[in-house]
């Protein structure tokens, strides 16, 4: 999806950068409850030392990246088991790629927001030393962040299971004729999506299910404690630009999806690679280098954690004195344990989240506002405070 990304990068640049390429910090408070004093206190925490940014779905949501479980989200329309589980991919890669085409369609109109650009600026100011993200659409890189660790991979790239070659996913779509050379979707070349759509329950089925649920509730004990949701495994993947090494411990699916899954026991890597990789069936995108089967380079349910990526993230956290947590519920282990560990060794936590996260109560600053508004204010405050400190020294 390199073409789409470069297009929205250039559009967003026009919006957010001035004639000299400087980030244009907005002076307008868009009505959040966060005061300038709160921003200043948070900025002082960030000035204590290298900062790692830890981002989740909330940052992308402010760019209009569709949610998966919210009303209207992709999971409401598509059958997750058929399009995002590694076993389904190995059984029917064409259907999984067909779903990816719908994601590509949605991401074509998505641009980095002011929060993404402010993070990139904080990195350019040597305040933020890197971004650890659970998101998979590449918006941090598109906004100019350089050190980005994508825990759940990057859905805008494709990976050859046989030789490890990576290419933008729009190249994969072109290989099967779903995209023209100008990146236009060739609608009449697309396979039918009916096989991967969620099955709608009939009114009678829905009624029976509802009755069963209420019967079950009334026959249970008087305790109102709900049953825990079924556990799913969780993932971590590689950063873009490097061949994906074998992963090692546990599965999940990316970004917003993984925001609501919990971790469970480890398992063997179920993704065959190299000489064990399955052959590409007719109609599936193939590698330009070796004609092997391409897979979207995001982590699917059932795939294992990538230990190398997780190690990179841990190393980054351990080298920092503060974490800037943005738009993440911090519910997904082991990623969510990284800020906790940083705090336990005396680091500062700044949480930017209008709804709050599991770590908001632990944070030294909790800025209850949207990141597209808060982060530019924070970057501006950091720049001003640093300027004041320098004036004082000299
Ligand atoms: Zn290959």
What pLDDT, in 10s, does the model give residues 191-238? Answer: 998 888 887 665 665 566 555 544 443 333 333 333 333 333 333 333
pLDDT of residue 268: 43
**This prediction's pTM:** 0.75
Sign of CA dihedral 170, 175, 178, 179: positive
State in Å: Cα 159 to ligand 1 middle: 8
CB burial class (10 A; 0-12, 13-18, 19+) of residue 185? middle
Q: Is residue 12 part of a domain?
A: no
pLDDT of residue 204: 64
Residue 190 CA, distance from chain mean position: 27
Q: What is the dihedral of CA 373, 376, 381, 386, to 10 degrees?
A: 160
Neighbouring C-beta atoms of residue 66, cutoff 10 Å: 18
Of the pLDDT bands very low, low, confident and very high (cuts 50, 70, 90), residue 71 is low
Region 5-11: mean pLDDT is 33
pLDDT of residue 257: 42
Is the model's pLDDT at 256 over the cut of 50?
no
Q: Is residue 17 part of a domain?
A: no
User: Which one from 45, 140, 152, 312 is the annotated catalytic residue?
Assistant: 152
Task: Please state, rounded to an integer, the average pLDDT across all residues of the chain.
Answer: 78
pLDDT of residue 201: 62
What is the tally of structural domains in the chain? 1
Higher per-residue confidence, 34 vs 306: 34
pLDDT of residue 128: 98
Q: Is residue 166 part of a domain?
A: yes
Q: In 3D, which of 152, 161, 155 has the Cα closest to residue 304? A: 152
State in Å: Cα 276 to ligand 1 middle: 13
Cα-based angle 379, 385, 391 (whole degrees, multiple of 5): 140
Which runs of consecutive H residues, i.e. helices, occur in the chain? 2-16, 36-46, 57-61, 74-77, 80-83, 86-91, 93-107, 114-124, 139-143, 169-175, 203-219, 255-259, 307-318, 337-344, 371-393
Residues with CB under 5 A from ligand 1 (ion): 160, 162-163, 165, 287, 289-290, 292
Of the pLDDT bands very low, low, confident and very high (cuts 50, 70, 90), residue 365 is very high
User: What's the rounded Cα separation, in Å, for the pair 235 and 306?
Assistant: 7
Strand-pairing partners, residue 74, are none
Residue 110 domain boundaries: 34-195+233-393
Q: Taking every pair of C-alpha atoms in the chain, what is the biggest distance, in angstroms?
A: 77
Higher per-residue confidence, 361 vs 238: 361
Q: What percent of the chain clears pLDDT 70, i.e. is strictly above it?
A: 71
State in Å: Cα 303 to ligand 1 middle: 20
Higher per-residue confidence, 218 vs 79: 79
Q: Is residue 22 part of a domain?
A: no
CB burial class (10 A; 0-12, 13-18, 19+) of residue 212? exposed
State in Å: Cα 290 to ligand 1 middle: 4
- 356 in Cβ contact with 366 (< 8 Å): yes
Region 321-338: mean pLDDT is 90
Q: In 3D, which of 265, 349, 323 has the Cα closest to residue 131? A: 323
State in Å: Cα 93 to ligand 1 middle: 16
User: What's the rounded Cα separation, in Å, for the pair 150 and 310?
Assistant: 9
User: What's the rounded Cα separation, in Å, for the pair 41 and 261?
Assistant: 33
State in Å: Cα 176 to ligand 1 middle: 15
Of the pLDDT bands very low, low, confident and very high (cuts 50, 70, 90), residue 272 is confident
User: What's the rounded Cα separation, in Å, for the pair 117 and 61?
Assistant: 15
Q: In 3D, which of 145, 89, 31 has the Cα closest to residue 299? A: 89
State in Å: Cα 145 to ligand 1 middle: 28
For residue 135, give both structure tokens: 């998101």
pLDDT of residue 197: 87
pLDDT digits (tens, 9 = 90+) for 16-62: 333 344 444 444 445 578 999 999 999 999 999 899 999 999 999 99
pLDDT of residue 374: 97
Is the model's pLDDT at 15 over the cut of 80?
no
pLDDT of residue 270: 64
Q: Is residue 252 part of a domain?
A: yes
Q: Is residue 14 part of a domain?
A: no
- 326 in Cβ contact with 163 (< 8 Å): no
State in Å: Cα 274 to ligand 1 middle: 9
Is the model's pLDDT at 252 over the cut of 70?
no
pLDDT digits (tens, 9 = 90+) for 96-142: 999 999 999 988 889 999 999 999 999 999 999 999 999 999 999 99
- 188 in Cβ contact with 180 (< 8 Å): no
User: Domain with 42 in it: what CATH number?
Assistant: 3.40.50.1220
- 383 in Cβ contact with 46 (< 8 Å): no
Tokens 């009678």 appear where?
204
Q: Is residue 176 part of a domain?
A: yes
- Catalytic-residue membership of 45: no
């Amino acid at each position: 999806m390199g073409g789409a990304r470069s297009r929205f990068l250039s559009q967003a640049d026009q919006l957010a950068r001035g004639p000299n390429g400087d980030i244009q910090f907005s002076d307008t408070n868009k009505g959040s409850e966060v005061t300038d004093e709160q921003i200043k206190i948070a900025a002082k925490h960030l000035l204590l030392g290298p900062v790692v940014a830890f981002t989740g779905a909330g940052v992308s949501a402010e760019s209009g990246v569709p949610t998966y479980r919210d009303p209207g989200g992709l999971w409401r329309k598509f059958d997750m088991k058929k399009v995002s589980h590694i076993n389904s991919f190995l059984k029917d890669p064409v259907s999984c790629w067909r779903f990816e085409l719908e994601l590509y369609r949605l991401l074509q109109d998505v641009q980095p927001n002011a929060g993404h650009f402010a993070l990139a600026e904080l990195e350019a100011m040597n305040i933020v030393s890197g971004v650890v993200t659970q998101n998979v659409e590449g918006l941090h890189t598109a906004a100019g962040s350089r050190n980005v660790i994508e825990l759940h991979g990057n859905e805008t790239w494709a990976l050859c299971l046989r030789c490890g070659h990576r290419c933008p996913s729009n190249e994969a779509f072109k290989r099967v004729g779903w995209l023209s050379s100008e990146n236009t979707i060739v609608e009449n070349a697309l396979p039918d999506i009916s096989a991967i759509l969620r099955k709608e329950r009939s009114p009678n089925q829905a009624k029976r299910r509802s009755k069963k649920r209420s019967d079950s509730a009334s026959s249970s004990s008087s305790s109102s404690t709900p049953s825990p949701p079924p556990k799913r495994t969780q993932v971590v993947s590689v950063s873009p630009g490097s061949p994906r090494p074998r992963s090692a411990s546990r599965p999940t699916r990316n970004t917003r999806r993984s925001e609501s899954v919990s971790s469970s026991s480890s398992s063997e890597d179920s993704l065959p690679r190299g000489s064990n990789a399955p052959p590409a069936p007719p109609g599936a995108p193939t590698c330009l280098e070796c004609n092997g089967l391409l897979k979207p380079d995001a982590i699917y349910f059932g795939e294992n954690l990538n230990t190398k990526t997780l190690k990179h993230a841990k190393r980054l956290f351990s080298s920092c004195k503060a974490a800037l947590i943005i738009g993440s519920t911090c519910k997904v282990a082991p990623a969510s344990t990284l800020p906790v560990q940083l705090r336990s060794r005396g680091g500062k936590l700044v949480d930017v989240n209008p709804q709050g996260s599991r770590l908001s109560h632990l944070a030294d600053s909790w800025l209850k506002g949207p990141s597209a508004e808060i982060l530019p204010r924070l970057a501006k405050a950091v720049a001003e405070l640093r300027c004041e400190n320098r004036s004082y020294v000299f």
